[in-house]
Chains A and B, each alone.
Chain A
Amino acid sequence: MSHPREALDDLLQNSVRLSIMGALSAAEEVEFAYLRDVLSVSDSVLSRQLSQLEDAGYVHIRKGYVGKRPRTWLAITGLGQEVLARHMHALQEIVNFSARSTPG
């Protein structure tokens, strides 16, 4: 029987990236500045983490407009949803395992 940590995704071991994925999983598309505010990170931090998630195929980035203002829309991909679900499940199992094995 394998340890749940083997189901963890290396890219999602970072809390900012995991938070991005968690946020995107709750909506169809989220606007860049709004997500930045939700996560309380800087533009550069968010851009950097999003690039890594996009390269892995977990996130789709779309440039659009609201009126004449350019906006960047972010969405989680099908692959991203699968990886996130597996990762969250593994994390939960690890937490449960720790709780069971803690004496007292």
Chain B
Amino acid sequence: MVALTLGLTIYKVPSMKETTFPYRSDGSEDPDVLLAAADAAKGRIRSDTPKEWKVFVLWGIWVLVFVPPFDFVDGRIWGPIVWSASLAGGVATMAYFVLRARRLHWARQTTWRNWLAVFVVYVLIMVMAGVLQGHFRFAWTAAAVLAAIPFFVTGLVVRTREERDVAP
């Protein structure tokens, strides 16, 4: 009797991963379910794709926050702070893209030419600010505003492009 009871209760336990998929796979799914399944998978991939435009906007904000204080604070004090912040930002930016690329190669890869162009413009403006700082009271503040514009404009362009790609 005990053996019979055991025999009735012993059955194959499917693995967790075999059972967690929410849809039937017998080929008879409802069209609504099929559409939802495909859209859910697509949506998950898109949500994991890096949002490059946000990174551009964050760097624009970074420029507006860290460059203007050169007009008010001694460069020997503020300089190392800016270098540290830019190093941390650079590492974070690289990590953001590189870590995601380990599992997902997004349809439109990061356009490093855009980054290079914006960075070159930024460096030129900073060099000009350094030259003009003795002549103008707010040279660094003006330079920050000028240098931030390419970051924001590029971010806006990239965002428009990303939204266009997502549209069905």
Contacts and interface: CB of A to CB of B under 8 A. Distances in A.
A binds B: yes
Interface of A: 12-16, 18-23, 25-31, 33-34, 36, 38-43, 45, 66, 73, 84, 88, 91-92, 94-95, 98
B105 A91 contact: no
B21 A41 contact: yes
Contacts, number: 102
Interface in B102-124: 102-107, 109
Given A28-B105, A39-B21, 12 more contacts: A12-B34, A14-B25, A15-B37, A16-B23, A22-B40, A23-B45, A27-B106, A34-B104, A36-B17, A41-B17, A88-B35, A91-B35
A30 B45 contact: yes
Contact of A34 (B25, B46, B103): B103
Nearest to B24: A15
14 contacts: A15-B23, A18-B37, A19-B41, A20-B41, A21-B38, A22-B42, A26-B41, A27-B105, A30-B45, A30-B103, A31-B104, A40-B22, A66-B102, A92-B35
A40 B37 contact: no
A21 to B, nearest CB: 7
A13 B105 contact: no
A73 B101 CA distance: 11
Nearest to B166: A26
Given A23-B44, A30-B45, A16 B21 contact: yes
Interface residues of B, number: 33
B15 interface: yes
Contact of B109 (A12, A22, A28, A38): A28
Contact of A22 (B29, B41, B102): B41
B102 A16 contact: no
A27 B49 contact: yes
Given A26-B42, A27-B45, A40-B20, A15 B107 contact: no
B31 interface: yes
Contacts of B80: none
B41 A39 contact: yes
A20 B25 CA distance: 13
Contacts of B15: 42
Contacts of A19: 23, 37-38, 40-41
B18 interface: yes
B106 A23 contact: no
Contacts of B32: 95
